[in-house]
Structure 1
Amino acid sequence: MKEQLIKTKIDFYLKKWVDIELNKLPGQIETEMSDPNQNKQEEWRIWFPIDSKVTASEIEEIEGRIGHKLPNDYKTFLKHKHFYELHISEVSFCRHPVNAWRAKLTEMIFDGYPTEYLIEKGYIPFADWSDWGLLCFDTNRNQADKNYPIVLWDHEIADEVQDQYIDFYDLIIKLDEDERKSTS
């Protein structure tokens, strides 16, 4: 039930992005995700979400690199769709293109901000919060079931985090509620 609800919400917001024609980026788009009918000379390239090709072994490789298991609900998210941009309410999820998703996630975790404030303290970033912070899994809590709480790390106050959501499922549900309230 939770798994299907996560997928349904993600599909809704990806479809919305395409329907309002915001699925364009300057530069190169992976072939599997690009519009084959678009003029190749145009600077802004159209992309489409596609079914994920993420495997369990690729996720295990990422987990090994970061030193922590990822929550099952987040694994459902990773294994559902590939996309370049996914925005729900104040959250912009890490880019998830078909052939470069591991590089993008690794870059967010290890290269975005100094690791001593994040991964070295057990915070795994996976999304931007508005223009001033990152949402992170707090691996210091709920280690038994890996259903970590989500904290907000503000780059202006680098040595503190603020509890934001109970877990990834709660994040998806609450973001959807916030988005629907703001558009009604």
Structure 2
Amino acid sequence: MMTSPVDEEGWYIWKPIKGTLIDSDYQKVEHKFGIKFPKSFVEWHKQYFFLDCSCQLIDLPVSSPNEPLQQIIDNLDYSLAEDLIEAKLYPFGDEGNDAGPLVFDGRYEVENNEYPIRVYDHDYGGDIEGLSEIIFSSFRNALHITYMN
């Protein structure tokens, strides 16, 4: 993934490499945690292995070739996430200012699981009052908006 030597300041150039994950890899995670990912999220995440995905507004889960699904699993495998999942709010990333996790709002069925995205304020400790308004209507639209600006 590194395409240059480390410079004197510790920086280097890197590029993503072609991913090898398949839909069933994500389905195993969905089954383990009792969730459903949007189709667009799975399609995006499995395209490449990459080690950074901070977009200032949001931090999306990386896909390391050594542990490609680990950050997705980590976003789902802690006590607050358990409470959110029970409420059909599926953590998948972080809000860029440390307010809390980004969640897919799965409380209502939508085609291809293209759930709206909200932020959950971790200070609310599982109370639904910590849920923000919709910040993106879907993951597909979040990518379009984030990468078009």
What is the TM-score when the length of structure 2 is the normalising length? 0.80
CA contact (8 A) 1:141 1:149 kept: no
CA contact (8 A) 2:116 2:138 kept: yes
What is the TM-score when the length of structure 1 is the normalising length? 0.66
Q: What is the 5 A alignment of 1:7-26?
A: none
| Unpaired runs of at least 5, structure 2 | none
- 1:147 is aligned, of 106, 114, 118, to 114
**What letter is aligned with 1:156?**
D
**What letter is aligned with 1:81?**
Y
Three-state SS of the structure 2 residue aligned to 1:88 is: coil
* Matched positions, count: 142
| Unpaired runs of at least 5, structure 1 | 1-32
Counterparts in 2 of 1:116 and 1:106: CA distance versus 1, 3 Å? closer
CA RMSD of aligned residues (A): 2.4
Q: What is the 5 A alignment of 1:46-61?
A: 47-61=14-28
CA contact (8 A) 1:152 1:161 kept: yes
Q: Does 1:76 align with 2:49?
A: no
Distance 1:155 1:133 in 2: 5
Distance 1:96 1:116 in 2: 22
Structure in which a larger fraction of residues adopt strand: 1
Three-state SS of the structure 2 residue aligned to 1:61 is: helix
CA contact (8 A) 2:95 2:101 kept: yes
Q: Which residue of 2 aligns with 1:28?
A: none
